[in-house]
A and B are shown apart, each in its own frame.
Chain A
């Protein structure tokens, strides 16, 4: 009992918070060092992330769980097989500020079945398919709209007409607007599938993953 009692310490000491040296800089809420007088906000942007993955049970659950867990804002997700047996491509449309997009790519890359992740350039080749079921009272007008959007009538009856439209996201949105006048009963959209334009590779696929 010699150690501390003899030194009669009075507890923590030192200058109080208001008396201390202070830094001049600051960061924003994303931890980015900013000009103290200027607020930098990252606006969310919409982008397409493509992941080439080993086709294993649970890979889709892993990806969707990751996006949910880390609160990444996901607009659509599609998945399907590739030309290489045992490998699939997942296409994600994400709307996030730049730091979020960067994190999403990096976190995706850490999942074991994910072979490669790439954010596609601003002008990818991207298409979506929608199936719409509208009221069938005006078959000719429905048909005209379907023609206009280069679509296809899949099913027609006295009560309903079901059509398919394929296109980029804007075209699909416009078509849905156009069919709205007939009364849309149900919609099924696939979400976007996309590849990089031209000879650019969408994902790096080396020989060990084909």
Chain B
């Protein structure tokens, strides 16, 4: 690498990028080539010159003065780690928050912050695309419990984060996003790479902040961090104008602090707890519905103790997969659209549903008219706005999942008399086993591959997924026994989540934990470029592509609801993913027959580095049981003809 900025090659010219090739254009416009070749400690003026040259050459004239002005006000920051600029304060705030890893993509407006990172102990992982940075940070947050941090420049960098932020927002995953912004004086002028990031991200973040003062920017970042981590977790964003990060600052921003208007309750009102406990203790057919909030609150041990103490069967939502070990006698696993038959029978027939940390998503409830219609509902949630939003709560208990479960445990005078009900649940487990036919002369069943990976790995192995049929099979046929081992895109349903999430999960996981990504061919093609990051950073993940050469879930719906008209859901051709992996520098494997499965998985899992298994599965396999959208959970279909 030369120290001189490279002249813009045709590939770096946004004007010459193919109009249809949005990803390429976007990556190029973040000036990553320009920034890569400049040593971080070099006179930043050189880089700025290159940037302004690019801007002047390829974009509106208004762009050049923005960069020029920044040049003129460039502070004499020697990047030694002392707080001299707003950017130093940003970095200091992250360090104060205990951040160890950052995921991001460089670019013009965020450069001062990157420069301030030069001497930091925090490790930055340059992702291939900002969406990958957001998903990696999200998964990092899910696995570690503390906010994952992603960074992007202004304009396309920030907008590329949006999908990942929306994903984190739907799943209440803790994420802090830092975005560069054009200098304050240029905000509103449609400057080069300007986007109203605050406006764009407002609806998909828990809170966002426009930093307008170098003296306060570190505090803003600390506040964003505290808000992402506290109460109902979620993504937050701080938009960082370049003049603010370049501006003079000297104060250590201190520890992250939550603003005074944000005051999530810890425990629920004691009389409400007593009333709820009485109803639960008197129930004949009680069920605990554990939601993602149980995992977020680190309350899985409390949940297990409560359920086993009182003999109450446990159903989970998808984000809560792993919150209650699925091989337990009381475990009914996931309810909802593709939940187990026994979970859906239990939530339909229960007379008292203790729902903890769930927002009653429509994929869980089906039609609310038929959701747990006999049940008194005890709803524990830290967000009062979730109470009676979708399903009316008879006993709302607002507070932290673990704290309120402790309160309930103390208030339960007796256990419900539910022996017959438990026997009924056991019978449903016998009646509706999750099974699949696997004739040896047919293509490999995806469920078989999932079970084989589960058998070949330890219990604490982390599974990430994309979105679609493969996600449901990975959820149904893997036996989850520990929290924070199921890392998926639940509420937003973001295809492409799996590979970048695996990278984030790997960096948050214990060293001896395996990380496996189940992906579909469609999902994999959306973010497989992040393999380059896994190879570069030597991130040991195993990606298993359940390849049916189709957007399988869409095709399944077309079969069921659209007269088998397979519009835009089948690929007449897909790449050889094993060869593609090798081109990225990862190991590639291929499975086409049952007799290959174990040996290939063994090799892929034992390889010390990223590997991809292209598993060619039965293209005709569909996901069942299934409750159609808005349907009655108790009428789940075991096959298409029952829909």
Q: Which residues of A contact B (CB under 8 A)?
A: 1, 3-5, 9-17, 20-33, 54, 57-58, 61-62, 65, 69, 99, 102-103, 106-107, 109-110, 112-115, 208-209
Contact = CB atoms under 8 A, between A and B. Distances in A.
A63 to B, nearest CB: 11
Interface residues of B, number: 64
Indicate the member of A3, A14, A16, A107 with the most B CB atoms within 10 Å: A14
B22 interface: no
B210 A27 contact: no
Interface stretch (B102-110, B322-330, B366-374): B366-374
Interface in B330-345: 341, 345
B384 A106 contact: yes
B301 interface: no
A20 B374 CA distance: 16
Interface stretch (B411-419, B457-465, B629-637): B629-637
Given A3-B455, A57-B210, A27 B435 contact: no
Q: Is the interface of A mostly helix, strand, loop or mixed?
A: loop
A127 B375 CA distance: 45
A208 B260 contact: yes
B403 interface: no
29 contacts: A1-B594, A1-B595, A1-B597, A3-B452, A5-B438, A9-B435, A10-B437, A12-B432, A12-B638, A14-B432, A17-B636, A20-B635, A21-B349, A25-B374, A25-B375, A28-B369, A29-B369, A31-B371, A31-B392, A54-B261, A58-B202, A61-B202, A99-B392, A109-B384, A110-B383, A112-B227, A112-B259, A208-B260, A209-B261
A18 to B, nearest CB: 8
Given A27-B391, A110-B385, A13 B374 contact: no
A23 B369 contact: no
A114 B260 CA distance: 11
Contact of A31 (B349, B360, B384, B636): B360
A99 B625 CA distance: 33
B605 to A, nearest CB: 16
Nearest to B447: A4
Contacts of B435: 9-13
B32 interface: no
Contacts of A9: 435-438
Contacts of B440: 1, 5
Nearest to B387: A106
A54 B261 CA distance: 9
A27 B436 CA distance: 34
A112 B261 CA distance: 6
A102 B455 CA distance: 49
B634 A16 contact: no
A32 B433 CA distance: 32
Contacts of A209: 260-261
Given A4-B451, A27-B373, A32-B392, 15 more contacts: A4-B445, A12-B433, A12-B434, A13-B431, A16-B642, A20-B634, A22-B348, A23-B372, A27-B392, A29-B368, A31-B365, A33-B392, A106-B384, A107-B385, A114-B261
A25 B455 contact: no
B261 A27 contact: no
Interface in B376-415: 377, 383-385, 387-392, 394
Interface in B604-643: 624-625, 634-639, 642
A30 B390 CA distance: 7
Contact of B199 (A12, A13, A61): A61
Given A4-B438, A15-B431, A26 B370 contact: yes
Given A1-B597, A3-B448, A65-B203, A25 B433 contact: no
Indicate the member of A12, A30, A33 with the most B CB atoms within 10 Å: A12
A129 B387 CA distance: 37
Contacts of A14: 341, 431-433, 638
B373 A12 contact: no
B560 interface: no
Contact of A21 (B345, B368, B452, B455): B345
B170 interface: no
A13 B438 contact: no
B598 interface: yes
B275 interface: no
